[in-house]
């Protein structure tokens, strides 16, 4: 191959030099490669796939492709980053904005609950789900134009079940807490309740006050495992013997049968249990104040927005007040 007579003093990073007498076709390779001035070493270097030096490699490639942005230079790196960003946006859109459409296309809204928390939800003697939240969910399904399916799981596993996709939402008297909000998204509150004391009139002739109970050594306190009542009992009664059960009914029965001294529970359920068991009464003193909300898998912002719209409508239309009156619920 002949050598190109390069002109001295012509700058440029990895640019091919034109011969004084014009281009010599014999200097081109079969691939269309030419010789280039190596900016790293200050001498010509034939570009046969790999020029000498990393800097030469970048310069040669840029020159070979006419200096246009490509995936091997700085402009190409920016292009790759932009393309990755666009792909992430597209994937995120289809992954997260689709649950509402998915439910309507499926024709079924799947709701996660535990066994029972009357009068919010439970099962009647015919095996049908009943209660305040069940009626609220029925209206929700009616507006969506879908059927309802209730998936019953243990309370301590209800959030993992939602995350794994066993159902679409949790409508199960769940208190909105910062710890739970790290795992799921919550709607606006639909009820405000508080933890209170459920006691037996066989043990206490008058309603016991928290100030009288908090320091009793070995006080037997029944709770449902993993609830805010469980957390409140352990925090507010440090000297007590906490008895945790899988369901609210089991825990309340311990007090009714004398196996526990008191139960720490949501005020709504306490009132219901006082009607169910003649020996049980509610102290009337709220130990905490809590908001109940519907939980959704994180990232489903379109569906979350729709649920919040539904809750606001249910409040302003009077539906929530009607259901509270129907089920004897005293709550904000």
* 259 part of a folded domain: yes
Residues 162, 307, single domain; the answer is yes
> For tokens 């939800």, what's the residue?
121
Residue that terminates a domain, selected from 96, 114, 140: 96
Q: Which of 152, 182, 143, 193 is nearest to 293 (CA)?
A: 193
Q: What is the pLDDT of residue 267?
A: 93
Residues 241, 267, single domain; the answer is yes
Q: Which residues of the chain have pLDDT under 70?
A: 1-78, 86, 88-97
Q: What is the pLDDT of residue 219?
A: 97
Residues 121, 48, single domain; the answer is no
* 1 part of a folded domain: yes
Residues 185, 304, single domain; the answer is yes
Contact indicator for 203, 258 with CB cutoff of 8 Å: yes
User: What's the domain range around 79?
Assistant: 67-96
Residues 275, 199, single domain; the answer is yes
Number of domains forming the structure of the chain: 4
Q: What is the pLDDT of residue 169?
A: 98
Q: What is the pLDDT of residue 69?
A: 55
Q: What is the pLDDT of residue 6?
A: 46
Residues 245, 203, single domain; the answer is yes
Residue that terminates a domain, selected from 13, 46, 64: 64
Q: What is the pLDDT of residue 173?
A: 94
* 6 part of a folded domain: yes
* 204 part of a folded domain: yes
> For tokens 């439910």, what's the residue?
103
Which distant-in-sequence residues (6+ apart) come within 8 Å of 292 by Cβ? 173, 174, 175, 176, 189, 190, 191, 192, 193
Residues 244, 318, single domain; the answer is no
Residues 86, 141, single domain; the answer is no
Q: Could you tell me the pTM of the whole model?
A: 0.65
Task: Name the DSSP class of 190.
Answer: S
* 331 part of a folded domain: no
Q: What is the pLDDT of residue 83?
A: 74
Residues 222, 247, single domain; the answer is yes
Residues 223, 159, single domain; the answer is no
* 150 part of a folded domain: yes
Burial 251-268 (b: 16+ CB within 10 A, else e): bbbbbbeeebbbbbbbbb
Rounded CA separation 119/284 (Å): 18
């Amino acid at each position: 191959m002949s050598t190109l007579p390069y002109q001295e003093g012509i700058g440029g990073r990895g640019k091919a030099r034109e011969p004084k007498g014009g281009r010599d076709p014999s200097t081109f390779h079969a691939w269309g490669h030419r010789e280039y001035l190596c900016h790293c070493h200050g001498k010509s270097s034939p570009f046969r796939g790999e020029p000498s030096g990393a800097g030469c490699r970048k310069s040669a490639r840029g020159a070979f492709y006419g200096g246009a942005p490509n995936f091997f230079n700085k402009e190409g790196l920016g292009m790759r980053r932009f393309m990755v960003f666009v792909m992430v946006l597209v994937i995120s859109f289809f992954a997260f904005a689709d649950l509402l459409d998915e439910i309507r296309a499926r024709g079924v809204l799947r709701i996660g609950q535990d066994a029972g928390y009357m009068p919010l939800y439970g099962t009647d003697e015919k095996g049908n789900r009943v209660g305040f939240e069940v009626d609220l969910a029925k209206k929700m399904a009616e507006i969506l134009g879908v059927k309802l399916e209730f998936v019953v799981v243990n309370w301590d596993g209800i959030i993992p079940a939602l995350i794994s996709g066993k159902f679409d939402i949790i409508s199960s008297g769940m208190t909105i807490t910062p710890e739970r909000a790290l795992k799921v998204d919550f709607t606006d509150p639909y009820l405000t309740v508080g933890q209170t004391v459920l006691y037996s009139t066989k043990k206490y002739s008058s309603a016991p006050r928290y100030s009288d109970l908090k320091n009793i050594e070995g006080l037997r306190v029944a709770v449902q495992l993993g609830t805010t009542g469980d957390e409140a009992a352990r925090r507010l009664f440090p000297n007590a013997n906490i008895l945790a059960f899988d369901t609210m009914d089991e825990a309340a029965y311990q007090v009714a049968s004398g196996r526990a001294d008191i139960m720490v529970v949501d005020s709504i359920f306490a009132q219901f249990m006082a009607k169910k068991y003649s020996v049980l009464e509610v102290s009337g003193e709220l130990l905490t104040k809590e908001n109940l909300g519907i939980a959704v898998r994180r990232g489903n912002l379109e569906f979350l927005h729709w649920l919040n719209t539904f809750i606001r409508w249910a409040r302003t239309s009077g539906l929530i007040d009607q259901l509270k009156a129907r089920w004897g619920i005293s709550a904000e």
